[in-house]
């Protein structure tokens, strides 16, 4: 009788938990499904992360791409706040707004060359005479291996891993890479990156997500604040000059919350919008606030934190400003700029980086 009462009590507690959290008995924090096949027949998986409050994040193993982020507005209405394609075929045809992991080196490397320990390496010149985003293929165009990680209280995680072999796209060393996507009940999407190598190599990983907190239209009416009062000036090819300058008195000053499109005309005709690297205030390697984006219309807010030294603001200039990127990263061309934080990873070291995108509404 005592055992029966205990079982009934346990069942009642479970029922009350499900009722108060809005969850059903079938609630899964992480699930997986088939997403299609590559031209060579390799399968692509999709992982769906859910939290107890209805937020959903979808990720595929092709390019470690985030295909969807459903986040609530001030009235609780959900909308997808990241640009994504409708199918794998669309991604394979070159969808230009994918939220993929970029590597082995995000952003630009001048003249598609660099030296480590006196050895010069040549890369693909896929951005004029320069190298960008890991080369002609890069991590955004390969199939990663995915697995669901053991559940933890109030969060669910999936790990994607990839081996970039020695010489791939011209880079030295066998680089083992992992990215862990975690969705918490606090509406935080956390990205933890890890990498190891057997030869010294530059590493600079980021996610190139294009966010639109309105869920449609353009982002010029979004408001932006950056925890950055300095930036890295660049030449006409968007290669840093090596200097670090103040944003004061420039269209790059987002030290107070400012409408994204309010000064964008000042960047023309050289640029059709923002494509600039900012120096995040605070110590590299320490998780700290990098910026905040607000959509006044829906009330959606996105707070960004990172351990990285920089963040690249890109306003989807090739997409009619349909999305806004805050790419947490090392500075562009940092492998060729001795004064910049070094992106070199050596054998025996582990490259670690964390970025958090936290969603709320006001």
Q: CA torsion 133→35→318→274, rounded to 10°?
A: -60
CA separation for the pair 186, 153 (Å, rounded)? 12
Which residue, among 261, 227, 232, 234, has the nearest Cα to 246 in the 3D structure? 232
Question: Helix (H, G, I), strand (E, B), or coil: what is residue 138?
Answer: coil
Q: Are residues 94 and 62 in contact, defined by beta-carbon separation less than 8 angstroms? A: no
Give Dmax over CA atoms of the chain in angstroms.
81
- DSSP string of 203-244, one letter each residue: -B-EE---B-TTSSS-STTSEEEES-SEE--B-TTS-B-S--
Residue positions annotated with a catalytic role: 208, 327
């Amino acid at each position: 009788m005592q055992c029966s009462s205990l079982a009934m009590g346990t069942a009642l507690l479970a029922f009350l938990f499900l009722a108060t959290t809005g969850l059903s008995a079938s609630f899964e924090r992480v699930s997986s499904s088939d997403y299609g096949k590559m031209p060579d027949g390799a399968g692509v998986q999709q992982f769906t992360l859910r939290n107890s409050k209805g937020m959903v994040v979808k990720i595929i193993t092709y390019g470690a791409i985030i295909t969807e982020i459903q986040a609530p507005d001030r009235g609780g209405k959900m909308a997808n706040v990241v640009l994504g394609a409708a199918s794998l075929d669309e991604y394979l045809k070159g969808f230009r707004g994918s939220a993929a992991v970029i590597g082995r080196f995000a952003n630009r490397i001048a003249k598609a060359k660099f030296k480590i320990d006196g050895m010069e390496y040549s890369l693909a010149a896929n951005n004029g005479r320069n190298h960008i985003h890991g080369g002609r293929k890069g991590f955004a165009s390969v199939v990663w291996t995915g697995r669901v990680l053991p559940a933890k209280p109030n969060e669910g995680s999936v790990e994607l891993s990839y081996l970039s072999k020695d010489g791939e796209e011209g880079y030295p060393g066998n680089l083992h890479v992992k990215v862990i996507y975690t969705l918490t009940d606090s509406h935080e999407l956390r990205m933890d990156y890890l990498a190891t190598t057997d030869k010294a190599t530059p590493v600079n990983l980021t996610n190139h997500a294009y966010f639109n907190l309105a869920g449609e239209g353009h982002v010029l009416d979004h408001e932006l604040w950056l925890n950055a009062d300095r930036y890295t000036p660049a030449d006409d090819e968007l290669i840093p000059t090596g200097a670090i300058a103040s944003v004061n008195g420039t269209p790059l000053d987002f030290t107070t919350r400012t409408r994204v499109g309010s000064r964008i005309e000042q960047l023309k005709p050289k640029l059709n919008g923002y494509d600039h690297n900012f120096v995040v205030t605070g110590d590299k390697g320490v998780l700290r606030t990098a910026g905040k984006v607000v959509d006044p219309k829906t009330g959606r807010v996105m707070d960004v934190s990172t351990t990285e030294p920089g963040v690249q603001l890109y306003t989807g200039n090739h997409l009619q400003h349909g999305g806004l990127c805050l790419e947490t990263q090392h500075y562009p061309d940092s492998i060729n700029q001795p004064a910049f934080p070094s992106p070199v990873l050596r054998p025996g070291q582990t490259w670690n980086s964390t970025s958090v995108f936290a969603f709320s509404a006001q």
